[in-house]
């Protein structure tokens, strides 16, 4: 993905809030999402700019952005799937048109103001209809620590260094940020009195990065590693909530089921792959004792820019913290660039058997963790399965999440010489199980 005028850090917007140095949504970002207003169920596609949202259909109808027929139909749709299906060239044309409209000095800014809505007044929805959800397992730090926490003495699986491991998740329970997480129930282990379905005592979060598929591939036709970026529309944040006690009991031999299918939260704004171009970098180098990478998962181009630098963060707010006016406490800050396998390798591997990916499919990285245990992307690792509770500044401790706790995920890209961009937040509150 080449750099162009839309990445120029010197360009400012006539939307003043977009010029704040700490905004997630400057002119150089322009993420896409779907929103509703008040009690109106109609869903509309918008672009975040500072603390405002540009209504794309309204801008198109007023002739403020020039789009061909296919793009014009796509921006009037109630979700992003049609736009995703048009591919990266069409997406780049849309980005350039919106960038031009929102740049400082544009002659039509007075009319364009009528197409803006305050972000605070909107209800953000799922950005796309998600047909399939695949969750990978690609952080070597997470995989190593989680294995030992779940089963003392366990080590990294032999296949981890050879291929990106994944399982198919449940798309119907993927929800937008802000949706409460109801504590799930399941079987927690052997029960001599007969199996009982009990609320989990080990509810966890997972800090992940997801990507939405743009153009799909026909059944039976693989996607090469160097073409994988042509099939990625954009990225979001993912919290793949997990019930560790249910997971430990049910996961042998087929992997997690009820422990994860109850809910997955995603951030509502999709940051396009083009917006992330300045933050591409070389993947982390492999160690000398790592096995050779399969030819289908390696290339000179990928070696130069297969990783994406995203500074991630997870914060926790307890009911007691909010009652006493305490801010949420940061509890993890890994960098996405440190993943053992990249998003491009995940997409290429996913389609290597001829599996057909479709516009709007969601692929997630799995838990992102750093080399230090303080940057673990979940409590399973951080607390060693609850054995060493996390001590909070409020004086409280958490082995796992309790009712009323709020987990907030964030992510930001920074690089000298470029405007910093962010993802907004992915947030969820734990609530007790309904009777």
Of the residues 7, 141, 142, 350, only one is catalytic, namely 142
Query: Which strand (E) or helix (H) includes residue 348?
Result: helix 343-351
Instruction: Please state the length of the chain.
Output: 435
What's the CA gap between 274 and 229, in Å, rounded? 10
3-state secondary structure of 308: strand
Residue 142 is a catalytic residue: yes
What's the CA gap between 32 and 269, in Å, rounded? 6
CB 274: neighbour CB atoms within 10 A? 22
What's the CA gap between 146 and 115, in Å, rounded? 48
Phi-psi region of 191 (alpha: psi -120 to 50; beta: other; left: phi over 0): beta
| Angle, vertex CA 371, rays to CA 368 and CA 373, nearest 5 | 85
Beta bridge partners of 363: 134, 211
Task: Check if the beta carbon of residue 146 is closer than 8 Å to that of residue 160.
Answer: no
Task: Check if the beta carbon of residue 211 is closer than 8 Å to that of residue 130.
Answer: no
CB 18: neighbour CB atoms within 10 A? 23
**Cα–Cα distance list, 377 to 16, 413, 424 (Å):** 35, 18, 18
What's the CA gap between 278 and 10, in Å, rounded? 14
> Which tokens go with 13?
């917007």
Give catalytic residue positions: 142
């Amino acid at each position: 993905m080449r750099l162009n005028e839309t990445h120029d850090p010197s360009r400012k917007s006539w939307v003043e809030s977009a010029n704040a140095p700490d905004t997630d949504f400057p002119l150089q970002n322009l993420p896409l999402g779907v929103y509703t207003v008040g009690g109106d169920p109609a869903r509309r596609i918008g672009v975040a700019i500072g603390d405002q949202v540009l209504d794309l259909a309204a801008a198109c109808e007023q002739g403020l952005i020039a789009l061909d027929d296919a793009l014009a139909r796509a921006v009037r749709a109630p979700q992003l799937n049609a736009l995703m299906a048009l591919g990266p060239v069409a997406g780049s044309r849309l980005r350039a048109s919106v960038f031009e409209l929102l740049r400082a000095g544009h002659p039509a800014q007075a009319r364009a103001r009528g197409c803006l809505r305050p972000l605070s007044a909107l209800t953000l929805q799922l950005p796309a209809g998600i047909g399939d959800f695949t969750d990978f397992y690609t952080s070597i730090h997470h995989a190593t620590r989680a294995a030992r926490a779940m089963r003392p003495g366990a080590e990294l699986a032999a296949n981890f260094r050879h291929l990106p491991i994944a399982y198919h998740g449940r798309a119907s329970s993927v929800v937008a940020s802000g949706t409460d997480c109801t504590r799930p129930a399941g079987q927690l282990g052997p029960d001599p009195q007969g199996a009982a379905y009990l609320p989990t005592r080990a509810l966890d979060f997972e800090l992940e990065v997801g990507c939405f598929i743009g153009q799909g591939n026909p059944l039976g036709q693989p996607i090469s590693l160097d073409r994988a970026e042509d099939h990625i529309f954009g990225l979001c944040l993912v919290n793949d909530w997990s019930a560790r006690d249910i997971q430990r009991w049910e996961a042998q031999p087929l992997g997690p089921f009820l422990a994860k299918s109850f809910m997955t939260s995603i951030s509502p704004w999709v940051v396009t792959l083009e917006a992330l171009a300045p933050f591409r970098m070389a993947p982390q180098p492999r160690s000398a004792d790592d096995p050779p990478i399969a030819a289908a998962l390696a290339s000179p181009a990928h070696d130069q820019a297969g990783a994406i630098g995203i500074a991630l963060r997870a914060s926790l707010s307890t009911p007691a913290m909010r009652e006493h006016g305490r801010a949420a406490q940061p509890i993890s800050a890994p960098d996405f660039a440190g993943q053992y396998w990249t998003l491009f390798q995940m997409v290429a591997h996913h389609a290597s058997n001829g599996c057909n990916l479709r516009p709007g499919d969601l692929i997630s990285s799995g838990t992102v963790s750093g080399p230090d245990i303080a940057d673990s992307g979940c409590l399973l690792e951080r607390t060693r399965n609850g054995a060493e509770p996390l001590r909070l500044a409020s004086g409280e401790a958490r082995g796992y999440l309790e009712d009323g706790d709020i987990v907030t995920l964030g992510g930001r890209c920074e690089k000298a010489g470029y405007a910093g961009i962010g993802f907004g937040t992915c947030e969820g509150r734990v609530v007790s199980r309904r009777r």
